[in-house]
Structure 1
């Protein structure tokens, strides 16, 4: 009799344990990280956002049981996916060759692109021109030009002062004569009031004439470039203009950083988060910020930076974004079909408007 009761208790406990294990096995672990407006960790400890609501609609339609597991960033999620510790990540993940080979990627549900943000300047063209003229970079070029003119003028005066005392006088006045000759020769004005008479002086003059042609072209280009770069806040109109910018900032380990590295464009500063990067841009600590356009727009609105930061109308490199699962996951087809059905519904457009985002 005792043995019978023992077996009954054992079977009940074993059955309960098995059911619990089955329930756990059927519960999908959804890896997420805080990434507004797609995944937002609320103050109450819950989650909301575009990806969260999209996933919950898919799960409800497919009758999926799940639990969220939060990570600090997408790198942690990629590692857990590779080890198959999680079943799916619903943060938008860029589709690329290496990821398609390692993971199952769903139908893209969003198209992102690299946005370009600059400080918002309420300055007139005249103010911009004046500030450029008195900028340190412009002043350095002008001073270097004067120095080169003085060097050649000094050498000519040194040679001519004994052979041509009337045109290249002794002392300080003679130095000014040399500077005057050097300047008018460089600019090809050539008044003819001063000319070398000695053979050495003529040789210096010939060298200076040919050198001046090269130097004046280089300095003209340098001055034009300096003025253009200084006024970039109003002159960036396309991707090519990015190359002219100084002080370009990015957020680390993002498409913006990858783009600049691929294009061999120098990065001035790398930030840990878009919030820090945008606030630095608003303070004019940088000239340009490259980051995901959707997220930039979201934070500009949420942080009330629309009067301090301007998001330019063009975008750089587009990226298709998807949910991601471990390779050969048994629920991939179910989730993928559910996603495709969901993004064709009218409420998907409502969700994008709710979170003030729109894929390109």
Structure 2
């Protein structure tokens, strides 16, 4: 009988010992991100991510300490190295992060979009003059010069033997005369100082008269567009699509997934330590745009309504935010179930609306 009691006590202690870590152990929870997901007010930390985490932790009777992390990247590295158990914040679930062997993600708790912040500032005289050096105008001029060279050369070849007075035999003055004749014909000025007399020369000229109607229309449209932009004070190219960001200087906050997105889309990355400094890069025209979470940008503009920036009408990518933990963590399923319950009950949406409205 005494032996049975002893074994019962041993089994009870063993069962209690296996359950103890989840109930009594203090979890080390890292926190990183920007408002409205992580809002720091002195010693108090709140925000969408924190409120959802607190509801999920309460549902699982978890005890924890909050440990601020400088950037999401630093927080992910802390989880990977075992320094913290969980990372809370607007942490995007990306392919590059999923490839890290030492971390895993919970069920997504928030769906967001990567937004673009653009400057809203009166352009300088130099930037306004820049419209005349845009690709549309330059390409039209290059095409025009090339066509004048070709037509002038053909007319010179046709006329140089029988009409050398107007189109000299030497190639440089001869082609120059041919290009002058082609330009006069193009503009319909009709000076009459030069005119072809051979059948071939007249045939080339007739064809050029018809083609020049199209050339004049194209050139006129490009110049008219440039003058319109100049007089309206608009800069050379308004960024109104993701494709126009390729090759541009784009500010990103260090340690965020914006860096990965900018690099994948062949943008020129201008790193900044914080959202405030990244916005300042755009204001100082050291960056053409800023990539960041769209909700965070809206919140930032709401808190700073006087800064001369605007949010672009398009987004770069959809994002899903999840909590970061170690692979095969026994918390993963429990947290995922609680997140889904919170979403299905409308609790997650209510938390987001409280900070976004």
TM-score, L = length of structure 2: 0.66
Distance in 1 of aligned mates of 2:294 and 2:61 = 34
What residue ranges of structure 2 are gaps of 5+ in the alignment? 1-16
- Find the residue that maps to 1:278 and give its secondary structure: helix
Distance in 1 of aligned mates of 2:303 and 2:258 = 21
Residue 329 of structure 1 corresponds to 329
- For residues 278-298 of structure 1, what are the alpha-carbon distances to aligned partners after superposition, in whole Å with 9 as ceiling and x for unaligned? 223234444433322122222
Distance in 2 of aligned mates of 1:54 and 1:46 = 16
Q: Is the 8 A contact 2:281 2:287 kept in 1?
A: yes
User: Displacement, 1:177?
Assistant: 5.8
1:296–1:222 Cα change, 3 Å: farther
User: Displacement, 1:311?
Assistant: 1.1
Distance in 1 of aligned mates of 2:65 and 2:191 = 89
Q: Is the 8 A contact 2:23 2:61 kept in 1?
A: no
1:254–1:30 Cα change, 3 Å: closer
Q: Is the 8 A contact 2:90 2:321 kept in 1?
A: yes
Give RMSD over aligned pairs.
4.9
Counterpart pick for 1:232 among 237, 258, 264: 237
TM-score, L = length of structure 1: 0.65
User: Displacement, 1:317?
Assistant: 1.6
Q: Is the 8 A contact 1:141 1:223 kept in 2?
A: no
Matches within 5 A, 1:341-356: 341-356=341-356
Residue 39 of structure 1 corresponds to 38
Distance in 2 of aligned mates of 1:92 and 1:315 = 17
Distance in 2 of aligned mates of 1:23 and 1:106 = 17
1:152–1:270 Cα change, 3 Å: farther
Counterpart pick for 1:57 among 55, 58, 62: 55
User: Displacement, 1:27?
Assistant: 0.4
User: Displacement, 1:326?
Assistant: 0.6
User: Displacement, 1:122?
Assistant: 7.6
- For residues 290-329 of structure 1, what are the alpha-carbon distances to aligned partners after superposition, in whole Å with 9 as ceiling and x for unaligned? 32212222222223256x2221233222121111211122
1:297 aligns with 2:291: no
1:326–1:150 Cα change, 3 Å: same
Q: Is the 8 A contact 2:86 2:325 kept in 1?
A: yes
- Find the residue that maps to 1:313 and give its secondary structure: coil
1:183–1:274 Cα change, 3 Å: farther
User: Displacement, 1:341?
Assistant: 2.4
1:68–1:272 Cα change, 3 Å: same
1:122–1:347 Cα change, 3 Å: farther
Distance in 1 of aligned mates of 2:121 and 2:251 = 20
Distance in 2 of aligned mates of 1:305 and 1:29 = 39
Residue 312 of structure 2 corresponds to 312
- For residues 233-261 of structure 1, what are the alpha-carbon distances to aligned partners after superposition, in whole Å with 9 as ceiling and x for unaligned? 3x61x44xx33776341304544443343
- Find the residue that maps to 1:57 and give its secondary structure: helix
1:109 aligns with 2:114: no
The number of equivalent residue pairs is: 313
Q: Is the 8 A contact 1:245 1:288 kept in 2?
A: no
Distance in 2 of aligned mates of 1:81 and 1:249 = 29
Q: Is the 8 A contact 2:108 2:321 kept in 1?
A: yes
Residue 260 of structure 2 corresponds to 258
- Find the residue that maps to 1:35 and give its secondary structure: coil
1:91 aligns with 2:93: no
Distance in 1 of aligned mates of 2:161 and 2:131 = 37
